[in-house]
Amino acid sequence: MCGIVAACANRPIADILLNGLQALEYRGYDSAGIALQTDKGLQRIRTPGKISALRQLWQANPIQGECGIAHTRWATHGVPNTANAHPHLSGSKIALVHNGIIENHAALRAELSAAGYQFESETDTEVMVHLIDQLEQQHGDLFSALKAACKRFEGAFAIAVTSSREPGTVVGARRGSPLVMGLGRDDAEHFLASDVHALLPETRRFIYLEEGDMVKIRASEYLLTDSEGTEVSRAIKISQIDAEAFDKGPYAHFMLKEIYEQPAAVAETLEGRVYAGQILANIFGVGADEMLARVENIHIIACGTSYYAGMVARYQIEELAGLPCTTEIASEYRYRKPVVPANTLFVTISQSGETLDTLSALRHAKQAGYLATMAICNVPESSLVRESELVLMTRAGPEIGVASTKAFTTQLAALQLLTLRLAAINGMPGKEYQDRVQELEQLPGLLASALELDSEIQQLAAEFADKQHALYLGRGDHFPIALEGALKLKEISYIHAEAYPAGELKHGPLALVDENMPVVAVAPNDSLLQKLVSNIAEVKARGGRMIVIADKDAVASLAADHGEVVQVETGGSLVAPIVLTIPMQLLAYHVALLKGTEIDQPRNLAKSVTVE
Ligand code: F6R
């Protein structure tokens, strides 16, 4: 998704901006640009494509200055070309970068065109720079113009603006999209960014802007206000992010590194939360256990892979805790009038904690009469964490590959902590509870064993490399694992993959099956195994190529002609969905590798989806 970097310092900052954009590459983008206040006035360089292309343009024309803004754009309004790339200018004096979407851009465009402004792009963003230019001339200063302009914008935004009428100044604001301020060396330089990663080489000290906040930075000072322009003070946080997370190390891709980090990431997620067959008290926050004792219903809301984690939890919460649970996609939930039964816990799941649909769903839920809101999230300083009453961090560490891997398995582990806590409260016998918690404690070792299947799965990947379509099948709490397997394959290899509950096959999708259709089934050793075996037979009877990712104890139930079987030690029914995810991830990875696609930054996708 789009990225912002801005800097004011007493030294040349072009490198800070370009390196910052490079650090944001993992979020996905399709064009980039920088604008600097130089001794020749405001100068800008923009290009479609990669930061390397922007760097080459800059090397050919190395503009320098001590104040400027930069952007990576992920196209929403208008194709990825130079004219649509940010920064956008109004005349020659003012430049702006924007993350988000301005919903009333058409009305503002008409108004500003009537006032004589010429538009050069198809973007929704360009109205912002012209409006701020107009207001700067009316109000006489950039910050007042920003404040007045923010009142006119409808939609979501984080922006950074610089004007050569105010040398050495950048102003910014956030509403709906994240923006953070970095405090640099000796408090004599200040930065803005949409993501702390962009600034880690320069500083570890950050102020996270709150919803509606506006900021003015100069090299030696800053001003922070709320949306009304009242000066506010916000805590300075020291980022603990490990610099190694941004290094692929010996791995060819971040995705592969992150797949291999899963045993450690899950162990970290369980660390200090489970011990000797028990889940420790109040791991969801102070007073959480009393609240959980009152829960009668659960609503889980998330997007994409995080939604699939929520789907697994739905099966497990209903089965083990006996509480009604629904899981819903955030972009649907946020526009619905939910009927909330008494004592319902609202749970969001998000790797980034900045997914706009999930955040908006949380804000929507706060008006709907829930017992409490809980976030399961990977980014401690994220908006989702800050706005939720209870929180369980997943501790996966930064996930750089766009396709979610360790975020998913750590979410599942965290959700199982919630499930078992609720199960214990709602009468699960002590012995069973202890056995289940011990199953969870075995998880890191089981994940490490599953990773040993890598070379076996690499061989199977060849089956897919020349295929256009694939089907994935699962039942019960493994149906969402089939969905996740299909999502991974389509995201990074661009093969069309669909997942179905295996029992649904004969109600339509079976018509697609022939010898050109690889079909992947997830086969845990559970009560539905015999049903799944019949579904596999249905595929084989139509000539389909089966690949079965099976619990090693389920293998005996499969017929000899049931296709390729990958045997996995899953360690029991609770954690089986997590363990069986690993072969799915490896399969997608190796297929993409054979196809030569951009694994860490798949086309059209972004890491943290901060627009609707
Ligand atoms: C898929 C993927 C996405 C995210 C989704 C939600 O591999 O990464 O589907 O899961 O965009 O993102 P978060 O979890 O950050 O809210």
Is the Cβ atom of 358 under 6 angstroms away from ligand 1?
A: yes
Listed range (279-293, 324-338, 416-430) with the worst mean pLDDT: 279-293
Q: Is 409 in the pocket of ligand 1 (CB under 6 A)?
A: no
For residue 518, list its beta bridge partners: 545
The 10 Å Cβ neighbour count of residue 276 is 8
Report the length, in residues, of the chain: 612
For range 390-412, the mean pLDDT: 95
**Exposed/middle/buried for residue 431 (C-beta within 10 Å: 0-12, 13-18, 19+):** exposed
At residue 217, does pLDDT exceed 90? yes
Q: Is 18 within 8 Å of 51 (Cβ atoms)?
A: yes
Distance from the alpha carbon of residue 363 to the mean position of ligand 1, in angstroms: 19
Q: What percent of the chain has pLDDT over 70?
A: 100
Task: For residue 326, count other CB atoms closer than 10 A to its CB.
Answer: 15
Does ligand 1 lie within 6 Å of residue 304's CB atom?
A: yes
Would you kindly state where each structural domain of the chain is located, as residue ranges?
Answer: 3-241, 247-451, 454-599
Band of the pLDDT at 563, cuts 50, 70, 90? confident
**Average pLDDT of the residues in 138-167:** 96
Which atom of ligand 1 is nearest the CA belonging to 609? Answer: 11
Rounded CA separation 573/548 (Å)? 17
pLDDT in tens, 223-232: 999 999 999 9
The predicted model gives 83-102 an average pLDDT of: 95
Quote the pLDDT of residue 318.
98
The closest alpha carbon to 158, from 144, 141, 146, belongs to 146
Q: How far is the CA of 565 from the centre of ligand 1 (A)?
A: 29
Q: What is the mean pLDDT of residues 335-350?
A: 96
By most ligand atoms within 8 Å of CB, the mutation choice from 350, 404, 585, 611 for ligand 1 is: 404
| Distance set, CA 545 to CA 308, 401, 539, 542, 548 (Å) | 25, 30, 8, 9, 10
CA–centroid distance, residue 501 to ligand 1 (Å):
22
Per the prediction, the chain carries an average pLDDT of 94
pTM: 0.86
In the predicted structure, residue 275 carries a pLDDT above the cut 90: no
Ligand 1: centre distance to CA 375 (Å):
15
- H or E segment at 485? helix 479-493
Is 411 touching ligand 1 by the criterion CB < 6 Å? no
pLDDT of 395: 92
The answer to whether the CB of 403 is under 6 A from ligand 1 is yes
Binned at pLDDT 50, 70 and 90, residue 562 comes out as: confident
Probe target for ligand 1 pocket from 306, 383, 406, 585, with the most ligand atoms within 8 Å of CB: 306
Secondary structure E strands in 140-229: 155-163, 170-175, 180-183, 190-193, 205-208, 214-218, 221-225
**Using a 6 Å cutoff on CB, does residue 360 contact ligand 1?**
no
468-526 residue pLDDT tens = 999 999 999 999 999 999 999 999 999 999 999 999 999 999 999 998 999 999 999 99
Tell me the C-alpha distance between 170 and 17, whole Å: 13
Query: Does 221 have pLDDT greater than 90?
Result: yes
Rounded Cα–Cα distance for residues 69 and 66 (Å) = 10
CATH topology of domain 3-241: Glutamine Phosphoribosylpyrophosphate, subunit 1, domain 1 (3.60.20)
Angle at 106 between CA 103 and CA 111, to 5 degrees: 125
Q: Answer whether 3-241 and 247-451 agree in fold.
A: no
Give the ligand 1 atom nearest the CA of 405. Answer: 7
User: Is 607 among the residues known to form the active site?
Assistant: yes
Element (H, E) at 262: helix 262-270
The rounded distance, in Å, linking the Cα atoms of 81 and 466 is 32
What is the helix (H) or strand (E) element at residue 6, kind and residue range?
strand 3-8
> How many Cβ atoms sit within 10 Å of the Cβ of residue 574?
23
573 lines ligand 1 (CB under 6 A): no
Closest CA to 171 of 197, 188, 190: 190
Check residue 610 and give its pLDDT: 78
pLDDT at 292: 95
Distance CA 385, CA 364 (A): 16
* Dist CA 335 CA 328 (whole Å): 12
What is the average per-residue pLDDT within 573-577? 95
What is the pLDDT averaged over residues 566-575? 93
Give the Cα separation of 98 and 131 in Å (integer): 14
**Contact at 8 Å (CB) between 45 and 63?**
yes
Ligand 1 centroid to Cα of residue 118, in Å, is: 38
| Residue 307 alpha carbon, nearest atom of ligand 1 | 10
Q: Give the per-residue pLDDT at 1.
A: 74
Give the DSSP letter of residue 271.
T
Who contacts 85 (Cβ-Cβ below 8 Å, separation ≥6)? Answer: 31, 32, 33, 46, 47, 48, 71, 73
| 43 C-beta closer than 6 A to ligand 1 | no
Q: Is 65 helix (H, G, I), strand (E, B) or coil?
A: coil
- pLDDT for residue 209: 94
pLDDT value at 364 more than 80: yes
Q: Is the pLDDT of residue 67 over 90?
A: yes
Confidence of residue 285 (pLDDT cuts 50, 70, 90): confident
Identify the CATH homologous superfamily for domain 247-451: Glucose-6-phosphate isomerase like protein; domain 1 (3.40.50.10490)
Asked whether 350 lines ligand 1 (CB < 6 A), one says yes
Distance (angstroms) between ligand 1 centre and the Cα of 606 equals: 9
Query: How far away, in angstroms, is 452 Cα from ligand 1 center?
Result: 26
Tell me, what's the pLDDT at 273?
A: 92
What is the C-alpha to C-alpha distance for residues 582 and 408, in angstroms, rounded to an integer?
10
Question: What is the predicted pLDDT for the residue at 449?
Answer: 96
8 Å CB contact between 349 and 355: no
- Indicate the burial class of 141 (C-beta count within 10 angstroms; 0-12, 13-18, 19 or more): middle
* pLDDT score for 247: 83
C-beta separation of 206 from 190 below 8 A: no
Buried b (16+ CB within 10 A) or exposed e, 24-61: bbbbbbbbbbbbbbbeeebbbbbbbebbeebbebbeee
Cα(387) to centroid(ligand 1), Å: 19
3-state secondary structure string across 354-372: CCHHHHHHHHHHCCCCCCE
List all residues 6 or more positions away from 84 whose beta carbon is below 8 Å from its beta carbon. Answer: 31, 73, 75, 77, 78, 121, 122, 123
**Over pLDDT 90: what percentage of the chain?**
84
Task: Specify the pLDDT at position 276.
Answer: 83
Per-residue pLDDT at 26: 80
For residue 544, pLDDT beyond 90? no
> Is 248 known to be catalytic?
no
| pLDDT at site 22 | 94
By CB neighbour count within 10 A (0-12 exposed, 13-18 middle, 19+ buried), where does 281 fall? exposed
User: Is it the case that residue 27 has pLDDT exceeding 90?
Assistant: no
pLDDT digits (tens, 9 = 90+) for 175-191: 988 899 999 999 899 99
Residue of 50, 216, 488, 607 with catalytic role: 607
- Answer yes or no: is pLDDT of 243 > 80: no
CATH class, domain 454-599, is alpha beta
Q: Count CA atoms closer than 13 A to 121's CA, side-chain side.
A: 26
Protein residue whose Cα sits closest to atom 16 of ligand 1:
350
